[in-house]
């Protein structure tokens, strides 16, 4: 039996690239031709705006700050007169696709982030004077002028460059690793400061493949942490390793070898969690700067909560590095962006992978991957992908150069695009639900009612799913999770309206407190999400 992904590849060979675009699922849309900056960090706020961040010390961007808002250049050799009058962070209004400049003072190069329970984006670390910084962005509506705040009264205990952040069940943030920082610490800061985490040092190699570790909060309250080719079950309360998982074959997967990872949706009684890790560079590509070394396309899948788990291996249709794995409202995973050769780092990759791939976790091995409609814009090093409340995927960034460079084979990319999966196609409009009633806030374990309208009569169950708003950077979305609620069958309430009784997640281990996009999903087609604040 030939899988859908193999059929699609045959179509590519037979019809050619342009013809294949007409038959493969998904559509592309240019949202902003020139955002002024290339975003290496991107996050969606509960005001339906998007925060985009680049680094400083790269000379002027193409987005001016407001008049009289110039900042000291901090020694940037590309800036004249010792000041910078351009933005290195912007905010996108999703209603109008307009861009407003934001002010960032300290270098955010290869930093990390996570939303706090109140919806504030906490941003940590970076390079140079940003190494120990805490920053906050408290989002606001499109008519207000919220901006970055650099915290002055506290700082990181240890400098963090290429670290990973994860919100915990109590709403605090754990900050893990970074270059020369094989430790963990917390926000709000704890008296213990930075605590050494020996696992990161044990997996560090001469390529530094322990950077931007993949971190997933399991429903047990423990952390699944993966770096290089190994993973552990980590108890952050006691700073102990509760379990060592088997080695994942295929070489290193973390920065700079650039695979990606997701935790699959939490469902049922929420006792089980499965992690998937896909792609990566061949070991040595970073050291030898071999831009044409083929990436590998293997994926490992493991039940992280199992008693004696093993990796289940399968192959993607394409080798891929620097791909982003985005959890869709349906529970499928979109793999997008990246390249097919080389490694992460400046000028160190080639052969952009323009084809998104859909990973369908409920299908058997061999039938899980579907090749989708290719884009036309290479999105390689320092690019991002984020789920939007309307179900589209926002694509931003790509700057494989130390500075902005627009006359290269793979130029600095300032545009912002959106990819629409097949579930947004016009022929599915009559089964797409519309959320018309939802509480603005729910507590843990609370029973509440959601109401939807649907053009055609509903057949079967309508899912109600909570999707987090993660911090996307360097091929990993920090804090990404999808929780499928326990629901009753929809009850007709006249005029195409249906009421659904839902039970919210039982606690912070399943869904940490904060704002979630809530999607109703009918026959694989999601609604536009409404935001709900979850917490006790």
Q: What is the DSSP string of 329-345?
A: TTS-EEEE--EEEE-SS
pLDDT of residue 7: 44
Quote the CA–CA distance of 499 and 493 in Å, as a whole number.
7
* Strand, helix or coil for residue 452: strand
Residue 261 backbone phi and psi in degrees, to 5: -150, 150
pLDDT of residue 69: 79
Mean pLDDT of 416-441: 97
Query: To the nearest 10°, the Cα dihedral for 513, 482, 399, 374?
Result: -160
In this model, does residue 6 exceed pLDDT 60? no
pTM of the model: 0.95
For the segment 81-137, what is each residue's pLDDT rounded down to a tens digit?
668 899 999 999 999 999 999 999 899 999 999 999 999 999 999 999 999 999 999
Cis geometry, peptide bond prior to residue 256 (ω within 30 degrees of 0): yes
Domain ranges of the chain: 197-375, 428-526
For the segment 203-212, what is each residue's pLDDT rounded down to a tens digit?
999 999 999 9
Cis geometry, peptide bond prior to residue 262 (ω within 30 degrees of 0): no
pLDDT of residue 11: 47
Q: What is the CATH number of domain 428-526?
A: 2.60.40.10
Quote the CA–CA distance of 253 and 283 in Å, as a whole number.
9
Q: Rounded to an integer, what is the distance from CA 516 to the centroid of its chain?
A: 14
DSSP for residue 490: P
Q: Model confidence at 13, in pLDDT bands (50, 70, 90)?
A: very low
For the segment 150-161, what is each residue's pLDDT rounded down to a tens digit?
999 999 999 999
61 with 52: CB under 8 angstroms?
no
Mean pLDDT of 365-372: 96
Mean pLDDT of 484-505: 94
In this model, does residue 303 exceed pLDDT 50? yes
For the segment 399-412, what is each residue's pLDDT rounded down to a tens digit?
999 999 999 999 99
Query: To the nearest 10°, the Cα dihedral for 433, 435, 441, 445?
Result: -40
Query: To the nearest 10°, the Cα dihedral for 480, 486, 491, 494?
Result: -20
Q: Which residues pair with 313 in a beta bridge?
A: 300
Q: At 288, which helix (H) or strand (E)?
A: helix 285-288
pLDDT of residue 154: 97
The CATH class, in words, for 197-375 is mainly beta
Least confident span in 74-83, 433-442, 511-520: 74-83
For tokens 């009289």, name the residue.
68
* Strand, helix or coil for residue 15: helix
131 with 125: CB under 8 angstroms?
yes
Three-point CA angle 446, 306, 246, nearest 5°? 135
Residues 6+ apart with CB under 8 A from 224: 214, 215, 216, 218, 231, 232, 233, 234, 263, 273, 275, 304
Q: Do domains 197-375 and 428-526 have the same CATH topology?
A: no
Quote the CA–CA distance of 513 and 505 in Å, as a whole number.
10
For the segment 216-229, what is each residue's pLDDT rounded down to a tens digit?
999 999 999 999 99
Mean pLDDT of 451-476: 96
More confident residue, 59 or 30: 30
Q: At 143, which helix (H) or strand (E)?
A: none
pLDDT of residue 143: 86
Mean pLDDT of 7-15: 47
pLDDT of residue 93: 97
More confident residue, 19 or 481: 481
Residues 6+ apart with CB under 8 A from 152: none
pLDDT of residue 496: 77
For the segment 56-86, what is each residue's pLDDT rounded down to a tens digit?
988 899 999 998 778 776 666 666 666 889 9
Quote the CA–CA distance of 429 and 269 in Å, as a whole number.
32
In this model, does residue 41 exceed pLDDT 50? yes
pLDDT of residue 77: 64
Q: Rounded to an integer, what is the distance from CA 173 to the centroid of its chain?
A: 17
pLDDT of residue 494: 78
Quote the CA–CA distance of 418 and 356 in Å, as a whole number.
12
For the segment 306-357, what is each residue's pLDDT rounded down to a tens digit?
999 999 999 999 999 999 999 999 999 999 999 999 999 999 999 999 999 9
Q: Rounded to an integer, what is the distance from CA 288 to the centroid of its chain?
A: 29
Percent of the chain at pLDDT above 90? 89
Q: How many residues does the chain have?
A: 536
SS (HEC) of 377-402 = CCCCCCEEEEECCCCCEEEEECCCCC
In this model, does residue 23 exceed pLDDT 90? no
In this model, does residue 21 exceed pLDDT 70? no
């Amino acid at each position: 039996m030939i899988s859908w992904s193999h059929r699609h590849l045959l179509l590519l060979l037979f019809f050619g690239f342009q013809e294949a675009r007409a038959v493969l699922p998904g559509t592309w849309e240019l949202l902003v031709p020139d955002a002024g900056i290339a975003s290496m960090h991107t996050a969606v706020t509960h005001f339906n705006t998007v925060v985009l961040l680049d680094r400083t010390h790269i000379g002027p961007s193409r987005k001016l700050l407001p008049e009289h808002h110039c900042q000291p250049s901090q020694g940037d050799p590309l800036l004249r007169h010792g000041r910078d009058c351009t933005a290195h962070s912007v905010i996108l209004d999703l209603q109008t696709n307009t861009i407003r400049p934001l002010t960032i003072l300290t270098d955010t190069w290869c930093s990390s982030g996570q939303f706090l329970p109140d919806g504030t984006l906490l941003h940590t670390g970076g390079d140079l004077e940003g190494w120990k910084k805490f920053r906050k962005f408290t989002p606001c509506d499109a008519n207000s002028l919220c901006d970055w705040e650099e915290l002055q009264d506290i700082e990181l205990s240890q400098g963090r460059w290429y670290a990973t952040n994860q919100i915990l069940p109590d709403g605090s943030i754990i900050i893990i690793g970074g270059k020369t920082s094989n430790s963990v610490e917390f926000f709000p800061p704890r008296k213990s400061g930075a605590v050494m985490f020996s696992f990161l040092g044990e997996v560090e190699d001469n390529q530094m493949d322990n950077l931007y570790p993949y971190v997933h909060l399991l429903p047990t309250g423990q952390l699944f942490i993966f770096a290089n080719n190994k993973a552990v079950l980590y108890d952050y309360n006691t700073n102990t390793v509760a379990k060592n998982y088997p080695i994942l074959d295929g070489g290193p997967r973390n920065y700079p070898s650039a695979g990606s990872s997701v935790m699959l949706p939490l469902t049922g009684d929420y006792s089980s969690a499965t992690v998937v890790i896909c792609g990566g560079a061949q070991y040595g590509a970073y050291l030898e700067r071999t831009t044409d070394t083929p990436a590998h396309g293997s994926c490992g899948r493991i039940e992280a909560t199992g008693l004696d788990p093993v990796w289940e291996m399968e192959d993607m249709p394409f080798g891929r590095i620097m791909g982003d794995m985005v959890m869709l409202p349906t529970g499928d995973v979109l793999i997008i962006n990246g390249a097919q050769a080389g490694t992460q780092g400046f000028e160190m990759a080639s052969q952009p992978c323009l084809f998104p791939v859909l990973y369908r976790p409920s299908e058997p091995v061999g039938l899980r991957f579907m090749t989708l409609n290719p884009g036309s814009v290479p999105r390689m090093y320092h690019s991002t992908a984020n789920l939007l409340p309307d179900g589209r995927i926002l694509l931003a960034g790509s700057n494989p150069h130390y500075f902005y460079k627009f006359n290269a084979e793979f130029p600095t990319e300032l545009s912002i695009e959106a990819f629409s999966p097949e579930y947004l196609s016009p022929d599915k409009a009559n089964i797409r639900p519309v959320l018309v009633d939802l509480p603005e806030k729910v507590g843990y374990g609370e029973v509440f009612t959601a109401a939807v309208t649907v053009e055609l009569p509903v057949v079967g169950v309508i899912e109600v799913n909570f999707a987090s708003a993660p911090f996307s950077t360097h091929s990993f979305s920090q804090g990404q999770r999808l929780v499928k609620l326990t629901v009753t069958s929809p009850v007709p309430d006249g005029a195409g309206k249906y009421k659904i009784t839902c039970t919210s997640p039982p606690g912070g281990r399943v869904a940490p407190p904060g704002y979630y996009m809530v999607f109703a999903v009918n026959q694989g087609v999601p609604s536009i999400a409404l935001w709900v604040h979850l917490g006790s």
